[in-house]
Amino acid sequence: MLDVLVIGGGPAGVVAALRAGDLGARTALVTEGEFGGMAANDGPVPVRTLAHAARLLRDARQLGHYGIQVGEPRLDYSQLLKRVWDVVADVRVHSAFRTQTDSAGVQVHENAGAARFVDPHTVVTASGLTLQSDKIILCPGGASRRLSVPGADLAATHSDAWGLSSVPESIIVIGGGATGAQVASVFNAFGAKIQLFQSGPRIVPTEDEDVSAAVAAAFREAGIVVREDFGSIESFEKTPAGVRMHFSKNGEHESAQATLAVVAIGWVANTCELELSKAGVETNARGFVGADEFLRTTASNIFAAGDVTGRLMLVPQAIQDGFVAATNALKGSSMKVLDQPAPIGSFTDPEYAQVGLTETKARENHNIATARVDFKSTTRPIIDDRTTGFCKLIADRTTREILGCHVVGERAVEISQIAAVAMAGNMRVDDLAQVPLSFPTYAGVLGRVSAMITRQLNLNLDWQGNRAGV
Ligand SMILES: Cc1cc2nc3c(=O)[nH]c(=O)nc-3n(C[C@H](O)[C@H](O)[C@H](O)COP(=O)(O)OP(=O)(O)OC[C@H]3O[C@@H](n4cnc5c(N)ncnc54)[C@H](O)[C@@H]3O)c2cc1C
């Protein structure tokens, strides 16, 4: 009998197993496929590698601007895919905690097939393993939600898109959230003609409205057809050259066709094969496991961590969840998941990122001050000829608390991280204005927006005027 069994080898599961091993527990980790989960094998790592290639193409086209003469860049997609899978393998070996879990004495069962419960303490796997454990931590992650319309199986998911052997001539991308926007942006850079369909009124809808507008405008300028509020999909049909999507709005029927259709309409939990009812674990309609702030499920010996809980579905949150779940499983429920500002970003072109509240949300409960600086009026983006984008900061007028930061443009994700550190450290907006951020840098824009709010609030900074030139 084990002390702790972890199901799922993504960031949540790996950190849960490592923490349990570090606490001296007899621990096993069982996972259907490769160690590293979606994060290493199918999500951020392959996406970021493709996005990097897209950036290199863009940068190569800019060389002439700086007096460097080379020919028009040409993409060899199969060579790029080889690079993607080399990177994935490298990350899996070097930075996915494998050495640490091994040295913590965790038994790792990779490629074990789907695990399922027999009773609250017993799990069997498709490969024939039977594992019994006092405590069990569920970390099976999630999977792309499929459409349920006729012909839906003709549409691919983002995973299929990474597996293509060549760049399709044209792609219909359904869903303008983070994943759909990345598929659209990356394959547009590779030369595919993209139509991006979003059912709501704006793409990247969880971002600040200014961000959605700027990303949509940049996508359109880059040649992507963006269709917000397009209606609802009725069916897909095969065509000689690919696929046709039929959709309608207010009784008007339309269709769009392309070589490939990619669906990115959200996420369901990977729980259907686990037979959770045999363990007494309750789930909601989309299969997500209900977990409280200590990550306890409805079964007293079973905890849940990562995407399977349906909360913020990102690697840093999965890592924190894994640590908390394993700690509570072994030491009693003493540690809560922290509710702190989480920087979130996406590697589209242009990049976008956020931390904290959007302007609309902030206005609901605060008297706010905002400042926005466009990249075209800051030094480093001008030097690098990366002038698309802006940084917007939101603060509370009374408490001077930084409530949110929203960035579009080069290094947006890195800029929002610095704002997140300031927020996590409870810096007031005028404290941030006094940090002498390096010049000329992208992050320097934070000094400028925080100094603008400081002036609006009539706070005293001896040297605040110095920021004007950043
Ligand atoms: C295209 C894309 C881009 C993304 N980009 C980012 C990003 O830039 N930054 C970021 O922070 N996050 C990003 N994410 C999200 C991130 O990948 C997830 O939040 C993270 O991987 C969740 O970790 P997890 O451990 O909960 O689950 P996963 O990483 O999904 O791992 C779960 C593991 O459990 C296994 N499993 C499932 N069911 C069973 C079963 N019955 N038995 C045994 N094993 C099972 C799965 O095979 C998998 O290996 C992205 C996701 C996608 C799809």
Cα–Cα distance for residue pair 424/369, rounded to 1 Å: 19
pLDDT of residue 91: 87
CA 384 to the chain's CA centroid: 26
- Map tokens 């926005």 to a residue: 372
Is 188 touching ligand 1 by the criterion CB < 6 Å? no
Question: Quick check: bond before 350 cis, omega within 30?
Answer: yes
Report the DSSP pairing between strands 252-258 and 242-249.
Answer: antiparallel
Cα–Cα distance for residue pair 333/391, rounded to 1 Å: 40
Q: Three-state DSSP class for 462?
A: coil
The CA-based dihedral angle spanning residues 6, 45, 96, 321, taken in that order and rounded to the nearest 10 degrees: -40
Q: Three-state DSSP class for 433?
A: helix
Helix axes 11-22, 315-331, angle to 10 degrees: 30
Question: Quick check: bond before 73 cis, omega within 30?
Answer: no
pLDDT of residue 41: 81
The neighbouring-strand residues paired with 404 are: 356, 394
pLDDT of residue 470: 43
Structure tokens at 207: 């971002």
Nearest to 98 by CA among 110, 113, 86, 82: 110
pLDDT tens digits along 301-343 = 999 999 999 988 999 999 999 999 999 999 998 999 988 889 9
Cα–Cα distance for residue pair 7/138, rounded to 1 Å: 5
Is 160 touching ligand 1 by the criterion CB < 6 Å? no
How deeply is 252 buried, as exposed, middle or buried, from its count of CB atoms within 10 A (0-12, 13-18, 19+)? exposed
Atom of ligand 1 at shortest range from CA of 347:
8
Atom of ligand 1 at shortest range from CA of 183:
1
Q: Where are the alpha helices (DSSP H) in 143-177?
A: 158-162
Is 310 touching ligand 1 by the criterion CB < 6 Å? no
pLDDT of residue 339: 84
Query: What is the CA(321)–ligand 1 centre distance, in A?
Result: 13
Is 44 touching ligand 1 by the criterion CB < 6 Å? yes
Q: Whose CA is nearest to atom 12 of ligand 1?
A: 314
Atom of ligand 1 at shortest range from CA of 274:
41
Give the number of other CB atoms < 10 A from CB of residue 2.
Answer: 19
Query: What is the CA(365)–ligand 1 centre distance, in A?
Result: 34
pTM of the full predicted structure? 0.93
pLDDT tens digits along 12-51 = 999 999 999 999 999 999 999 988 888 788 888 999 999 9
pLDDT of residue 469: 42
Atom of ligand 1 at shortest range from CA of 30:
43
Q: Whose CA is nearest to atom 38 of ligand 1?
A: 140
Structure tokens at 357: 């509240």
Is 11 touching ligand 1 by the criterion CB < 6 Å? yes
Atom of ligand 1 at shortest range from CA of 267:
53
Is 141 touching ligand 1 by the criterion CB < 6 Å? yes
Q: Whose CA is nearest to atom 17 of ligand 1?
A: 39
Please provide the DSSP assignment of 197-216 as one string. Answer: E-SSSSSSTTS-HHHHHHHH
Classify each residue of 433-456 as buried b or exposed e, where b means 16 or more C-beta atoms within 10 Å of its C-beta. Answer: bbeebeeebbbbbbbbbbbbbbbe
Is 124 touching ligand 1 by the criterion CB < 6 Å? no
Query: What is the CA(33)–ligand 1 centre distance, in A?
Result: 12
Classify each residue of 19-33 as buried b or exposed e, where b means 16 or more C-beta atoms within 10 Å of its C-beta. Answer: bbbbbebbbbbbbbb
Atom of ligand 1 at shortest range from CA of 345:
8
Is 38 touching ligand 1 by the criterion CB < 6 Å? yes
Contact partners, residue 441, CB within 8 Å, separation at least 6: 380
- Map tokens 């923490």 to a residue: 19
Q: Which of 179, 281, 315 for a ligand 1 pocket mutation test, highest count of atoms within 8 Å of Cβ? A: 315
Contact partners, residue 334, CB within 8 Å, separation at least 6: 294, 327, 328
Residues of the chain below pLDDT 70? 95-96, 460-470
